[in-house]
Amino acid sequence: MSHDLQFYIDGAWVDPIAPSVLDVIDPSNEDAFARISLGSKADVDKAVAAARRAFATFGFTSRAERLELLRRIVEVYKKRRHDLALAVSREMGAPRQFALESQVGIGLAHLEKIVQVLESFEFEHVKGSSLVVKEPIGVVGLITPWNWPLNQITCKVGPALAAGCTMVLKPSEIAPLDAIIFAEILDEAGVPKGVFNLVNGDGPTVGQALASHPDVDMMSFTGSTRAGILVAKAAADTVKRVHQELGGKSANILFPDVDLAVAVRKGVAGCFGNSGQSCNAPTRMFVPRDRHDEAAEHAKAAAETYVVGAADASGTNLGPVVSQIQYDKIQDLIESGIAEGARLVTGGPGRPADLNRGYYVRPTVFADVRPDMRIAREEIFGPVLSILPYDSVEQAVDQANDTVYGLASYIQTKDIRKARDVAARMRTGNVHINYPAWDAGMPFGGYKQSGNGREYAEYGLEDFLEIKGILGYDAA
């Protein structure tokens, strides 16, 4: 039975209190292929009440009980991985194999990592005659985005369960079907009633109701900086903790000593991955001025190897962007790059010539980009790379840091000592030296308007915990 038109509240699939539906659009062809219900404040109240009741018991479960639960979730998640991949592919346009290996795979990595972390995490320690303990913060509201949906669901739900929290999840209404399957996974794994609740809906209604709810102790939000500010304002009146993972405009500094062909090709791949829809994508490539034209040619060659097409088409490695709104935003920024005088190396406005339906963006590279241009300052969230020339590494570092964002940065050089020195100067939550492999054990989050708090592994677990000092614990 399909649960697309229902919510998961208090351990059961239930109909919305006030029926309202929304089409789910396949970005590969612009067709509606499913419908979901949109929740109301009344649905949120019902879900929060269930979570509050469940916290009275789940908040005091043992580590062993929570480990057993998380291990069952991992096993059911593995069993449903193909269902998850198909859902993600259709709702956000991810090519089929990428959806399975990367979108679904990253969720599994987070779940397995939090099991590993929980096995040895220290929830208490003695300090003199006192005891310091870390306890679950309580009921948490989780709001997740459409671009890496399972990544964000698992790196919030997993640590929240490990901490002993109960929760209400509002996934993106643009890509909601994977979250419905995830709720089915948790139900099959035997999550106690009320511990996990799912209410679909939009930000102004369900998101607002969650963030402002007096019985929600914490909000964990991933999405745009604009929406993150609204969540923080809504949460302020009840003085709840707010964790935000927001936008980015990551710099990629290529030192003069790099193998330029290799460094540029990998930089393009990092920028274009997931159709450019990653908040930590290296979208600003800084190259030595005397090698700028060479870098542009390498970027052109790399960009033109990408095959743009439908998620289920053979050979596609660059699917559509998620929606008409995103497509229009990207087109506007591409047009601005041309209007402001950047040199269009490849790509440009409009769809690829052979695609007239679907939200397809031409793989685009701009050269001779100035730091004041919109394409160098605004988050594009599409397969668009800006190449900026620099006269010294110091200038590149200054320009890289000259942004309201601070999520990630990238450094390419053969001199590890110089790389470490520059890494210390980058005002970003992550620094990537020479394109290292992704690591589920590293903290993820940003400086400045890229947010606050950290996700992944023990860093994510810490965010769902309160610290209590018990003085005189060992007193006679």
Q: Are strands 384-390 and 282-288 parallel, antiparallel or unpaired?
A: parallel
Nearest to residue 425, comparing CAs of 401, 404, 390? 401
State yes or no: pLDDT of 476 exceeds 60: no
Please check whether residue 448 is in contact with residue 405, taking contact to mean a CB–CB distance below 8 angstroms. Answer: yes
The secondary structure of 7-57 as a DSSP string is EEETTEEE--SS--EEEEEETTTTEEEEEEEPP-HHHHHHHHHHHHHHHHH
| CATH code given to domain 7-246+450-470 | 3.40.605.10
Element holding 225 (H helix, E strand): helix 225-236
**What is the structure's pLDDT at 453?**
96
pLDDT tens sequence across 132-159: 999 999 999 999 999 999 999 999 999 9
Q: What's the chain's Rg over C-alpha atoms?
A: 23
**What is the structure's pLDDT at 315?**
94
Mean pLDDT on 266-270: 98
> What residue ranges do the domains of the chain occupy?
7-246+450-470, 250-443
How many angstroms separate the CA atoms of 363 and 316, rounded? Answer: 13
**What is the structure's pLDDT at 151?**
98
Average pLDDT for the chain: 97
The tally of CA atoms less than 13 A away on the side-chain side of residue 177 is 22
State yes or no: pLDDT of 184 exceeds 80: yes
Please check whether residue 186 is in contact with residue 68, taking contact to mean a CB–CB distance below 8 angstroms. Answer: no
**What is the structure's pLDDT at 1?**
73
Element holding 343 (H helix, E strand): strand 343-346
Catalytic residue among 279, 378, 379, 455: 279
279: annotated active-site residue: yes
Token pair recorded at residue 135: 């306890």
- From edge to edge, which strands make up the β-sheet containing 130-136? 124-127, 130-136, 465-470
**What is the structure's pLDDT at 397?**
98
What is the pLDDT confidence band of residue 325, given thresholds at 50, 70 and 90? very high
Catalytic residue among 91, 112, 245, 458: 245
**What is the structure's pLDDT at 29?**
97
User: Who contacts 376 (Cβ-Cβ below 8 Å, separation ≥6)?
Assistant: 249, 284, 369, 370, 386, 388
State yes or no: pLDDT of 267 exceeds 80: yes
pLDDT tens sequence across 359-395: 999 999 999 999 999 999 999 999 999 999 999 999 9
What is the pLDDT confidence band of residue 327, given thresholds at 50, 70 and 90? very high
State yes or no: pLDDT of 345 exceeds 80: yes
**What is the structure's pLDDT at 475?**
67
| CATH code given to domain 250-443 | 3.40.309.10
How many angstroms separate the CA atoms of 366 and 243, rounded? Answer: 34
Q: Where are the beta strands (DSSP E) in 391-448?
A: 408-412, 430-433
Q: pTM of whole model > 0.95? A: yes
245: annotated active-site residue: yes
What is the pLDDT confidence band of residue 277, given thresholds at 50, 70 and 90? very high
What is the pLDDT confidence band of residue 130, given thresholds at 50, 70 and 90? very high
CA-CA distances (angstroms) from residue 216 to 42, 166, 235? 15, 10, 9
State yes or no: pLDDT of 403 exceeds 90: yes
SS3 258: coil
State yes or no: pLDDT of 280 exceeds 70: yes
pLDDT tens sequence across 77-126: 999 999 999 999 999 999 999 999 999 999 999 999 999 999 999 999 99
**What is the structure's pLDDT at 288?**
98
Mean pLDDT on 275-291: 98
How many angstroms separate the CA atoms of 14 and 126, rounded? Answer: 46
Backbone phi and psi for residue 402, each to the nearest 5 degrees, phi listed first: -85, 70
How many angstroms separate the CA atoms of 181 and 135, rounded? Answer: 29
pLDDT tens sequence across 200-249: 999 999 999 999 999 999 999 999 999 999 999 999 999 999 999 999 99
State yes or no: pLDDT of 428 exceeds 90: yes
